Homo-oligomer: A and B are copies of this chain.
Amino acid sequence: MTATKVTLKDVAARAGVSYQTVSKVLNGEMQVAPETMERIQAAVQELGYRPNRIARNMRAGRSFMIGYSWTQTEPGQVNHILDQFLSSMVREAGAVGYYVLPFPFREGNAQVETYRDLIKSGNVDGFVLSSVNYHDPRIQFLLKQQFPFVAFGRSNPEWDFAWVDIDGAAGTRQAVAYLIGRGHRRIAILAWPEDSRVGNDRLQGYLDAMQAAQLAPEPGYILRGEGTFEVGRAMTLHLLDLPADRRPTAIMALNDTMAIGAMAAARERGLTIGTDLAIIGFDDAPMAQYLFPPLSSVRQPIAEAGRKCVELLVALVEGREPEQRHVLLQPSLIIRASS
């Protein structure tokens, strides 16, 4: 009802003390007589006082904002991570007095400039970076600026910075080991271009699992390309057109979109998915469970990752050295009818 802003002075006037006293009392930095305390609290209640965040930040010289940027997906793709990740970050941040400031970008623009601006204008106290890759210019920049940040994903191993990541290799390793356990020997993998750090990590799990089972991975079984439906489909068609004795009986895809492409290809060749050809995806997109047949996939603890990113970042921002600067989370294999 009070359209006008309620300030410390209003509260102080009503409680009959100085406004600085009100501030200190509310922040628990001062002992006052019980009755004064009560008067102040009553005034706060009656006027509905909330400290003005801008003024507080101004004084503190910080913004209590965490910048978060992600690459916007192209039309036709879906970012099923965003909701979970962002929600979990906002919740964790809110619990310690921070907000999250999102700034999506389309690739190709002068990203580092955006970061510089946000820093110089005092808009954010730190960043969470996602979709990081090997030579990520943002990491280089932020390291040079000595500005606090946490990367969701690893990068160049020579750079020393805080990160949270999901153990992609372990995910693929688990999935491929499962396939081997089910008797598969000819297992192909739909991988990503060599400049993809995430892709190489996940691929490594495949190599590890194969080696652990004494299986020499045939070079022809490792295909690389963009992680799209079309690429997944084309790769799988290629694999299925191999001579019968060399045709793979199982396919591991590095994401669900490719796996769905693989499913389409299998259908085109008249194969029954799950029996004629096993397929496992990665990411466990929500749609995976509704596909026909439901797609096995590797699920990542996204919410946990968001929480950890914020926890780590806030520690850095506030100058506390976190107990661990690197967090590696374990994904889990979800088996459905496709494998």
Contact = CB atoms under 8 A, between A and B. Distances in A.
Interface string A198-215: 000000000000000000
B290 A264 contact: yes
Given A50-B120, A261-B290, A290-B260, A90 B104 contact: yes
Contacts of A257: 290
Interface stretch (A33-41, A53-61, A159-167, A239-247): A53-61
Interface string A69-89: 000110111111011101100
Given A52-B121, A264-B290, A90 B102 contact: yes
A48, A101, A261 — most chain B CB neighbours (10 Å): A101
A289 interface: yes
A283 to B, nearest CB: 11
A287 B291 CA distance: 10
Nearest to A86: B102
Given A120-B6, A257-B290, A83 B79 contact: yes
Given A86-B102, A290-B260, A121 B80 contact: no
A151 interface: no
Given A267-B292, A290-B229, A72 B83 contact: yes
A289 B229 CA distance: 10
B102 A94 contact: no
Contacts of A90: 102-104
A217 interface: no
25 contacts: A5-B61, A6-B120, A50-B117, A50-B120, A52-B122, A53-B63, A53-B123, A54-B54, A54-B63, A55-B58, A75-B286, A76-B289, A77-B286, A78-B287, A79-B83, A82-B82, A86-B104, A90-B102, A101-B101, A260-B287, A260-B290, A261-B290, A267-B292, A291-B291, A292-B292
Contacts of A103: 90, 94, 99
